[in-house]
Each structure stands twice: as C-alpha cells, then as structure tokens.
Structure 1
Amino acid sequence: MIQDIAPHRYRNEYNPKPPEKDSIMLCYDGHQVLLEKKGEEIRFPTFAELEKENDGIYENYTYLFEIDGKCFYLGEHIRYAQLSTFQMEHTEAFRQAKPLYLAFAGITGFQLYNWYRSRKFCGVCGRPMVHDKKERMMRCEYCGQMEFPKICPAVIIGVTDGNRLLMSKYAGRDYKKYALIAGFAEIGETIEETVQREVMEEVGLKVKNLRYYKSQPWSFSDTLLFGFFAELDGSAEITLDEEELALAEWFEREEIPVTEKHISLTNEMILAFKEGKV
C-alpha cells in the first residue's frame, strides 16, 4: 500500500528545522502539484533549484516531515518558470507514481496543504491563526482556540458469503473500478457500528462476525481507513442505494475481476480474499 515505503523511513514528528539546499519543496495549487514526471517516475524540486526565483525562500517555510533524514516543506506562491522540466500535475498521479516513497510524500503533503489552507482563520472568533512553535497545530492568539490536523475515520468492508465476495462500483465518481462497501464513521458510533450501518444503508444487507483486517492512512480524503471482513447474516438480496453506488454484485472467489497490486487497502483486501488468504 502507499504507506509501505520500507526500507525508507518516514518521520512525522513536528521538528521545524531550517531547510538546506537539498531539502524538498512541495508546491500545490488546488489539486495540482509541482513535479518533474518521466513516465511514472516523479521528482520534486529542491530549495537550491527554486532559490533564484524566490527571495526569502529560506526564511519563509512550513515544515512538513522527514523521509530518510531529508526534510520536506510546504511552499506557497512559488515561482518556477526557470525549471523547464517541472510542471503542475493532478494529485491523482500519486496513485501510479514511482518511487513509492515520493508518491507517499506527495499525497501526505497534500493532506497537510489542505489542512493549513483551511485553518488560516479562527473558527471561533475569526482572527488569523498562527503556527505553534512546539506542535503541529494552528493557534489563535486572541481566544486560545487550537486546531490540529484533520483525520476522518472510515471503514472498508469485505462482505463475504461463503466463497463469495460482495463488490461494488461508486456512483458519480471518476474512479470506475470495482471497490468494496465503504463509509465514514458518524458522531456517537463505534467503528463496528459503522460497518453494520454502512452495509445496511448501501446494499440493504445485515452482517455478522466482523473481523478486523488492517488500517491505512488515506491522504487523498484526509481519512484513516479501518478494513474489516464481515459475514452475510440472512438474505443475500441486494437493495442498492443508487445515490452512493452504481452497482453491487456477488463474485465467486475465482471470478473476482481484480488482478493488479495496488496502493489501496481496498485492492489489498479484494486480492487477499481472491487468493484465499482470508
């Protein structure tokens, strides 16, 4: 999965040290990110490459994280005209990009970019927020409001019926491949209750014997995913929520139409069932 970058080591401690010339700058504009792309291979610009066009780049920065001791920073209003091989690409490129550790860095930086740009003003009193010096936190100096990075818990559910797996496709989304039932946790419910509610809401089925599989940080949607397998409890007749799903259908293990390895928990779970590992 996208976070499995070993032997590279990701360190997310908030340690806002000054950048060096070979430190990496992540520059976003909406869903666009500045990078050099050759096939699936990507590269981000360094401070040394950007310094000629950007005065004060070593004084004004937002520290993000480290990978293998190299620091990554967030850039705003960065000029890059002289970097002829770099261009803005959609962040969806990180789904297929190589090396994997840079794809992970890029999408994790994108999650932090979205959080920082939505926390410029205090939600309580409306005054400007400032960066805290000790923690990854935005703070209001007037009323004391503190804001930490947003993480939304959600579930991925592999609903099984003996040798069959329930697979679905989303309605109204660009992603057209097969997926599993999924949804966000609501206020006041446990993750296990989220599993049962989402399956009932999306396909009208009851489930039992929930088995936790694995979790995954999914920065494309600020999400922490919890993967579960659950057995069908009762009727297998599907009642489709057409606002959420374009289709949902049962597949015998041997007929599951998913073959490729992928960066997502969803695909790993589908392949784990297909290969008889769960």
Structure 2
Amino acid sequence: MIQDLDFHCYHNEYTHAQPENGDFILSFRSREILGAIRDGLLTFPTWETLSGSQNLSPSACIYLFSIDEQRYFLLFDYEAEEFADFTYQDISIFRSMQPKEQCFGLVTGFHLYNWYKGRRFCGTCGHKLIHDEKERMMYCPQCQSTEYPKISPAVIVAVTNGNKILMSKYAGRNAKRYALIAGFTEIGETLEETVKREVMEEVGLKVKNIRYYKSQPWGLSGSLLAGFVCDLDGEDTITLDENELAVAQWFEREEIPYDDYDVSLTREMMIQFKKGLL
C-alpha cells in the first residue's frame, strides 16, 4: 500500500522551519499538484527552483514532514505559476507513479493542505487563527481555542459469502474501479457497529463474524481507514442504495477483475481474497 515505504522512514514531527535548497515544495490548486514527470518518475519543485522562477518569500511555506532526509513544505495561500516541466496535474497521478515515497508525500501533503485551508478562522469566536511554533496546531489568540489536524475514522468492508465477495462502484463519480463497502464512523459508534450499519444502509445485508484486517491513512479523504472482513448473515439479495452506489454484485474469487496489488487498502483486500488469503 502507499504507506509501505520499505526502507524509507517517514518523520511527521512538526518543526518551525523555513525551506532551504533541496527541500520539496508542494503547491496544490484544488485537487491538482504542481509536479513534473520524468521517465515515469514524479518529482516536485525544490525551493531553489521554485523561488528562482517566482517572487516567493520563505514565510509563504509551512513545514509538513520529512521522508528520510527529504523535507516537504506546503506553499500556502499562493498559487505558483507553471514553469519549465512543472505543471498542475490531478492528484490521482500518484496511483501510477514512482517513487512510492514521493507519492505518499503527495497524498499526505494533500491531507494537511485541506486541513490548513479550512482552519483560517476560529470556529468559536471568528478571529483569525495563527500557527503555533512548537507543534502542528492552529491557535486563536483571542479565546485560546486550539485546532489540531483532523483525522476521520472510516471502515473498508470485505463482505464474503463462501467463495464470493461483494464489490461495488460509487454513484455519481464515473467510477471505473470496483471498491468495497466503505463509510465514516458516526459519533458514538464502534468501528464494528459502523461495519454493520454501512453494509445494511448501502446494500441491505446483515453480516456476522467481523474481523479486523489492517489500517491505512488515506489523505484524499482525510481519513484513517480500518479494513474489516465479515461473513454474510442470511439472505444474499442486494437492496442497493442508489444515492451511494451505482452497482453492487457478488464475485467469485476467480472472477475478481484484478491481479495486481495497488496503493490502496481496498485493492489489497480484494487481491488477498482472490488468492484465498483473506
């Protein structure tokens, strides 16, 4: 999966720093990232190349994290101009690019970009928030309210019925990829209760024998995904929630239309089931 960085090390400790030569600068425009593709490899502008092409101050950048010794900064409240080979491209490019550690940096940076973008003003008193210098936190100097990065718990559910697994496609997204049942945990719910509720709401089925599989941070939705496997409990007739799903159907192991692993927890669970390992 995308967070599996092999021998690379992700450091998410916050430090109050300014960019230097060699540091990557992530510049987002809605759901696009400023980057370049060279021989199938994704790269981002460094501080010296970006600041050399446009009039930028180091104070326009927020330190995000490091992977090994490579530091990542967010260019915030400023839309960089495209230059040389660096153009704005849809963030979904991370699914097919290498190296994996930079794709992980893109997705995680996007999570923080969305959080910073939505934390300009205090939700309690309306005053402008300021950046804390000791930890990753936005602070209100008026009422002392604090805001930390938002992480939403959600579940990915592999519903199985003997040699079959339930696969679906989302409604209203022109989705080409099959997915598993998924949804966010509500207030007062356990993850296991979320599994039961989401399956019932989306396909009208009951489940039992809920088992935890694995988790994954997923910056596209600002969530922490928890993967679960469960067995069908009773009838297998699907009652589709057409507001959520375009299609849902049972697949035999051998019919699953994927053979390779992917960056996502969803795809890994599908392949594990296809191989008889789930």
Shorter-chain TM-score tier = over 0.9
Contact kept? 2:18, 2:62, Cα under 8 Å: no
Paired position in structure 1 for 2:200: 200
Shift of 1:51: 2.2
Look up the SS of the partner of 1:196 in the other structure: helix
1:210–1:132 distance in 2 versus 1, CA, 3 Å: same
Q: Which amino acid aligns with 1:87?
A: T
TM-score of the superposition, structure 1-length normalised? Answer: 0.96
Extract unaligned runs of 5+ from structure 1.
none
Q: What is the correspondence of 1:106-125 to structure 2 with a 5 Å cutoff?
A: 106-125=106-125
What is the RMSD of the two structures over their aligned residues, measured on CA atoms?
1.4
- Give the SS at the match of 2:45: coil
* 1:78 to partner: Cα distance: 5.1
* Map of 2:239 onto structure 1: 239
Identity %: 51
Matched residues in 1 for 2:139 and 2:174: separation?
36
Displacement of 1:273 = 0.4
Contact 1:170 1:176 in 2 (8 A): no
Return the offset for 1:39: 5.7
1:120-131 matches, within 5 Å, as 120-131=120-131
After superposition, give the CA deviation of every residue in 1:170-200 in whole Å (9 maximum; x if it has no partner): 1111332111111111111110000000011
Q: Distance in 1 between matches of 2:168 and 2:256?
A: 12
Q: 1:219-259 deviations in whole A, cap 9, x for unaligned? A: 01101100000001111111111111111111111222222
What SS class does the counterpart of residue 220 from structure 1 fall into? coil
- Looking at structure 2, the residues matched to 29 and 255 of structure 1 have their Cα atoms a distance apart, in angstroms, of 39
Equivalent position of 1:49 in the other structure: 49
Give the letter aligned to residue 157 of structure 1: V
**Separation in structure 2 between the aligned mates of residue 4 and residue 148 of structure 1, nearest angstrom:** 25
Paired with 1:79 and 1:209, the residues of 2 have a C-alpha distance of 51
Residue by residue over 1:194-221, the C-alpha shift from the partner in whole angstroms, topping out at 9 and shown as x without a partner, is 0000011111111000010000000011
Kindly indicate whether residue 74 of structure 2 is the aligned counterpart of residue 74 of structure 1: yes
Distance (whole Å) between structure 2 residues aligned to residue 87 and residue 54 of structure 1: 14
Match of 2:176 in 1: 176
Stretch moving more, 52-61 or 204-213: 52-61
Return the alpha-carbon distance in structure 1 between the equivalents of residues 153 and 59 of structure 2: 36
Secondary structure at the aligned position of 1:221 is classed as coil
Contact 1:50/1:80 (8 A) holds in 2: no
**Equivalent residue for 2:151?**
151
Alignment of 1:59-98 (within 5 A): 59-76=59-76, 77=78, 79-80=80-81, 83-98=83-98
Call closer, same or farther: CA 1:79–1:238 in 2, change over 3 Å.
closer
Please show how residues 10-21 of structure 1 align to structure 2 within 5 Å: 10-21=10-21
Equivalents in 2 of 1:39, 1:221: separation in Å?
A: 29
TM-score, with length taken from structure 2: 0.96
Q: Structure 2 regions of 5+ residues with no counterpart?
A: none
Q: Give the corresponding residue for 1:189.
A: 189
